[in-house]
Amino acid sequence: MSTSSISLAEAIRLHVSDGDSVALEGFTHLIPFAAGHEIIRQRRRDLTLVRLTPDLICDQLIGMGCAKKLVFSWGGHPGVGSLHRFRDAVEKAWPAPLEIDERSHAAMSAAYVAGAAGLPMAVLRGFVGSDLPNHNANIRFIECPFTQEKLAATPAINPDVAIIHAQKADRQGNVLLWGIVGVQKEIALAATRCIVTVEEIVDKLEAPPNACVLPAWTIDAICEVPGGAFPSYAHGYYERDNAAYLAWDAVSKSREQFTAWMDQHVLGTENFAEFRHQLAS
C-alpha cells in the first residue's frame, strides 16, 4: 500500500482530464500553484474549478480559458481587492463564459465534509436572510424532525480530482501537513482521485500525535515540488511572497498584459522550477 512519487506533469496527464471537476485547496497557505500552472501548460479545458477562495491560482486558470464553471465562496485578491480575470469572465465572458455555483465558506467547507463523509448533503445554520439562496438551487432549506427548526442544506462536493500541496511525504507516500490546514484533508477524501505536491520526500514522516496525516492509500499521485506553493507559503519552509501577490494586480489588469505574462512565464517554461527561476531573474 505505498504510493511512489511521479513528476507533476505525469500526475496531471494521468489524473486531470478535460471536463473534470478539480478542487485546488489551501486556505491562503499551501496553495498548489505549481499544479495549477501544470494544468495551464497542458491546456486542459472545460474544467469545473472548486475552491473556497479562488485567488490568483484560479484567476490564472480562468484567464487562460481552462474553466467553464467555478464553485466558490470568496473570489478576491486577499488584502488587495479584485481578481481581474475572474471579474472579466463573469462580467464580460472573457475568454469564455464562466458559470458559477456560489456558496459561503461555512457552506462549502461543510459540503466538503459531507463529501468526505459519504453524505449527499451538508446541513448548517446558514444563509438566513441572505439573497444567495435566491440565485443558487444548491442552497435549500430543510426542517429538523426533532425541533422543527429551519436549517440550510447544500449538496456534498465530491470533485473528480483534489489537488493539494503539503509539507512532507515519506517514501511510502504518507503525507503530512501542518499549520493552517484548511479543508485539505476533506477534499483529499471527498475526491475520486487525489494529487499531492510536497516540499520534500523524507525517510520518516515524524508526525506529531494527531497531526493532519493522509495515509498513502488515500492518495493517487505524489510529486516532489519544492516551492510548489509559491507565492503562497509553506509553514516551516518559506513565507508568503507578499510582493509577488501585490504585483499580480498590475499584471492581471489588462487582458494583453496578462496573456503576455502567462505566455512568457507559464507556457514559456517547462516546469515550476524553471518558472521560478525565470521570474527571479
175 to 22, 32, 100, 246, 251: CA distances (angstroms): 20, 15, 32, 31, 34
Give the one residue of 105, 235, 255, 265 binding a second copy; rule: CB under 8 A: 235
Q: Considering the complex, state which of residue 79 and residue 145 has its C-beta at the smaller distance from a second copy.
A: 145
Where in 139-178 is the site for a second copy (CB under 8 A)?
Answer: 140, 142, 144-147, 149, 151, 153, 155, 178
Query: Contacts with a second copy in 179-208 (CB under 8 A)?
Result: 179, 181, 208
d(CA 169, CA 223): 9
- Residue 142 or 267: which CB sits closer to another protein? 142
Residues contacting a second copy: total by CB under 8 A? 27
Give yes or no for residue 211 binding a second copy (CB under 8 A).
Answer: yes
Minimum distance from residue 126 beta carbon to another protein (Å): 5
Cα 28 off chain centre by = 10
Nearer to a second copy, 149 or 270 (CB): 149
Q: For strand 175-177 and strand 81-82, is the pairing parallel, antiparallel, or unpaired?
A: unpaired
Give the CA count within 13 Å in the CB-facing half-sphere of 61: 31
Copy the grid coordinates of residue 185. Answer: 484533508
Q: Closest approach of Cβ 181 to another protein, in Å?
A: 5
Instruction: Tell me which of another protein, a second copy, none is bound by residue 147, counting a contact when its beta carbon lies within the kind-specific cut-off of 5 to 8 angstroms.
Output: a second copy
Residues whose CB is less than 8 angstroms from the CB of residue 25 and which lie 6 or more positions away in sequence, other chains included:
32, 51, 52, 162, 163, 164, 182, 183, 184, 187
Our CB check for a second copy shows the closer of 138 and 172 to be: 138
Between CA 209 and CA 214 the distance in angstroms is: 13
- Asked if 167 and 39 count as a contact pair (C-beta separation under 8 A), the reply is no
List residues binding a second copy (CB under 8 A). Answer: 118-121, 123-125, 138, 140, 142, 144-147, 149, 151, 153, 155, 178-179, 181, 208-212, 235
